[in-house]
Structure 1
Amino acid sequence: MANLTVARLESRTVLALTGKDVWAFLQNLITNDMNKVSDTTGIYAALLTAQGKFLHDFFILKSEDGYLLDCATSRKDDLVRRLTLYKLRADVAISEADRHIFVLFGANACSAAELSDKAGAVAKNNGSIYMTDPRNLTLGVRIYAAASFNPNTQLPTATLAAEVVYESHRLTLGVPEGPQEILPEKNFLLEANFEELNGVSFTKGCYVGQELTARTKHRAKIKKRLFRIEYNGELHEGDKIMHQDREIAEVRSFSKGQGMALVRLESLSARPEDLAPQGVKIIQPEYIDLQTLENQ
């Protein structure tokens, strides 16, 4: 595992949701169960269209007077707009929180942050909130920093790095994020490995897009998945990966030799030398069970 590293996530924004109706408001909208959120636990979740297509993914954790929602800055305004449309007369206020987001990853990240090695574990330290990534422990610890937070003094054993270093770490683990790899209004939730990444509840009851998501889980066959790719050359978003003149994957992101693509599962056995561009490797993430895929 990489040396202990801390990076500021400039691409992320924290929203604050408050009001007496905020818990029920979120519970009726998001893919995960708000019953899991507490002072010691946070979750990963998504907002879908009524037809079950992906719109936004985010993290939710409890604050003193409501909840914090960690979302992509590039899609923040659209998320606020959609939440406001659903709010109607509910007592819910949405504002931008004055917190920066850092991520601590690499060797012994949980112990360095004084957190248990449990996905979604939350602890507070000097006004900042620390949370182990609910998707996968290896992703590290997300830090919702108070104004006084200084990574050099509070995490002296960690090397300070740019966000691109963390992005490379995430891609190496084969974990997709929206909107880079999970395209709004294009992907179904389970194509983006949301079940394996602890982002969806199949027991909580109704939420927007729930019917199709449940049907996909219990009755339909998932034909495509977001998988990691490696290639010693240039690839760009939207490029097609071909096998015997047939498209088997579409590149969603690529940087410095690795990225992610939406891959047809029936083509996983194709050899890199038989693909076009030749030599592209399609790699199943370790967090996905091969036997589960074979049974789909």
Structure 2
Amino acid sequence: MPTPASVLALVRAIPTTVRLHNRALVSVSGSQAAEFLNGLISTAVTTPPHRSFYSSFLHAQGRVIYDVFVHATRDSQSQPAYLIEYDATATADAPALFPLLKRHVLRSKVRVTDVSDEFDVWAAWDNDVATSDPKRWTRKQGGIIEPAWDAWPWGSEGEALMDRRADGMGVRRVVRKGDRPLEASTHDEGVPDDYLLHRIIHGVPEGVDDIPPLKAFPMESNLDVMGALDFRKGCYVGQELTVRTYHTGVIRKRILPVLLHPPPNPTSHRLGDGQHEPNITSGRDIRASLTRAPGEGRVARPRGTGKLLSTVKNVGLALLRLEHVDGLERGDLRFELVDGEASVSDNGDSTSWLVTPWWPDWWPKVEVGS
């Protein structure tokens, strides 16, 4: 399932930078900052050297609380410190990150400070510039995929954190309030929906809309493929279930980019033409149904549903059952929105909107055990 041509037509062709209004920052500093974070997040905090990276906070039962970027910096005494970047969108399920970290300080020589009012987070990308990405992957029998980097992939260009969750994502910068990122002189300034579309086309989930706090499992949310999980580090919150899944579990769902369109197929609908396009919101269930009448014998309806996540311009991200995706690739199944808006065909008939996923171009094509 390659990226549909109608989706490629949406790609913003000019270098773009966007201020991410929903991102907040918590500073963790002090002589034991690295040790403190290492016991809480799902990747190893290497010290020395002092470096930036992508990671996540997990609940004790192994579900995701926040996916985060950890920016290496210096405190007022020029000592190593970390700025933890996370999605601060209000949700009833997510515990606030600042008090969550404060509860774990205890006697550690660590200072935790909310610095969201001091800094802004910007993303920047240039679709004409190729970025090197991991070329080697390992895959467990149960479907877990790990990138293997020959060198540290994050933060390799000055103070910018290289976003290596997927090839082509660009860089992230933390700048002082009122300042502008280095890319502002060479890039066009976009709006948050431009970044959302950029993420969706690259198949990158992020934040509470795509990775619901205390509900999402890390591997189903592609955190393994994007480099946010270390299955070999020491003890951290949520490690037990995560490592058990790594050794004995089976990944049955993944988040994939999807195209939302009326029948009969994705190429028959021009995205953005404004004709019969409903306001499709996130959170809708996605049902898999048979595309043809079964042959002899009783054939059970596909079990379970998917979930539509972030959407913009009739593309989005969706959590889908992999067995249903396989059925769609064989031509046996199709996806449609449950209780979704209807579109009107040329002959006046009302039809449900279909959901067509695709595998991002960067997704690893590896054999089990390689």
Q: TM-score, normalised by structure 1?
A: 0.86
**1:28 and 2:39 correspond:** yes
Match of 1:182 in 2: 211
Q: Distance in 1 between matches of 2:47 and 2:259?
A: 36
Determine if contact 2:16/2:190 at 8 Å carries over to the other structure: yes
| Aligned-partner SS, 1:221 | coil
Q: Distance in 1 between matches of 2:183 and 2:70?
A: 24
Query: Higher helix fraction: Structure 1 or Structure 2?
Result: 1
Match of 1:256 in 2: 313
Q: Residues 239, 154 of structure 1: CA spacing in aligned structure 2 closer, same or farther, 3 A cutoff? A: closer
* Deviation for aligned residue 1:150: 3.1
Q: Residues 253, 189 of structure 1: CA spacing in aligned structure 2 closer, same or farther, 3 A cutoff? A: same
Q: Pairwise CA RMSD of aligned residues? A: 2.7
Summarize the alignment of residues 260-275 of structure 1 with structure 2, pairs less than 5 Å apart: 260-268=317-325, 269-270=327-328, 271=331, 274-275=334-335
Q: Distance in 2 between matches of 1:173 and 1:255?
A: 14
Q: Distance in 2 between matches of 1:147 and 1:252?
A: 30
Q: Distance in 2 between matches of 1:121 and 1:3?
A: 23
| Aligned-partner SS, 1:212 | helix
Determine if contact 1:176/1:226 at 8 Å carries over to the other structure: yes
Amino acid at match of 1:217: Y
Match of 1:70 in 2: 85
Match of 1:163 in 2: 192
Match of 2:113 in 1: 95
**Correspondent of 1:6 among 14, 17, 24:** 17
**1:241 and 2:252 correspond:** no
Give the unaligned 5+ runs of structure 2: 1-10, 132-150, 262-276, 290-300, 338-352
* Deviation for aligned residue 1:94: 1.4
Match of 2:66 in 1: 56
Determine if contact 1:8/1:162 at 8 Å carries over to the other structure: yes
Amino acid at match of 1:68: L
Match of 1:105 in 2: 125
* Deviation for aligned residue 1:202: 1.3
* Deviation for aligned residue 1:154: 5.5
Q: Distance in 2 between matches of 1:94 and 1:231?
A: 43
Determine if contact 1:118/1:132 at 8 Å carries over to the other structure: no
* Deviation for aligned residue 1:17: 0.8
* Deviation for aligned residue 1:243: 1.9
Q: Distance in 2 between matches of 1:103 and 1:218?
A: 35
* Deviation for aligned residue 1:209: 0.7
Amino acid at match of 2:69: F
| Aligned-partner SS, 2:46 | helix
Q: Distance in 2 between matches of 1:272 and 1:91?
A: 59
* Deviation for aligned residue 1:155: 3.4
Superimposed CA distance per residue, residues 75-132 of structure 1 (whole angstroms, 9 cap, x where no aligned partner)? 6971112111122222221113322111111235689xxxxx97312444xxxx3111
* Deviation for aligned residue 1:272: 9.5
* Deviation for aligned residue 1:163: 1.6
Percent identical pairs in the alignment equals: 26
Q: Distance in 2 between matches of 1:225 and 1:169?
A: 19
Determine if contact 1:36/1:42 at 8 Å carries over to the other structure: no
Amino acid at match of 2:354: G
Q: Distance in 1 between matches of 2:332 and 2:127?
A: 32
Paired residues, what number? 283
Which moves more between the two structures, 225-234 or 49-58? 225-234
* Deviation for aligned residue 1:147: 5.0
* Deviation for aligned residue 1:290: 4.7
Q: Which has the larger radius of gyration?
A: 2
* Deviation for aligned residue 1:50: 0.8
Match of 2:238 in 1: 209
Superimposed CA distance per residue, residues 219-242 of structure 1 (whole angstroms, 9 cap, x where no aligned partner)? 110111111111125432221211
Match of 1:119 in 2: 153
Q: Distance in 2 between matches of 1:259 and 1:243?
A: 17
Which moves more between the two structures, 81-90 or 173-182? 81-90
| Aligned-partner SS, 2:165 | coil
| Aligned-partner SS, 2:37 | helix
Amino acid at match of 2:120: H
Determine if contact 2:130/2:168 at 8 Å carries over to the other structure: no
**Correspondent of 2:170 among 134, 140, 145:** 140
Determine if contact 1:17/1:93 at 8 Å carries over to the other structure: yes
Give the unaligned 5+ runs of structure 1: 112-116
Q: Residues 46, 157 of structure 1: CA spacing in aligned structure 2 closer, same or farther, 3 A cutoff? A: same
Q: Residues 62, 16 of structure 1: CA spacing in aligned structure 2 closer, same or farther, 3 A cutoff? A: same
Match of 1:114 in 2: none
Amino acid at match of 1:209: G
| Aligned-partner SS, 1:103 | strand
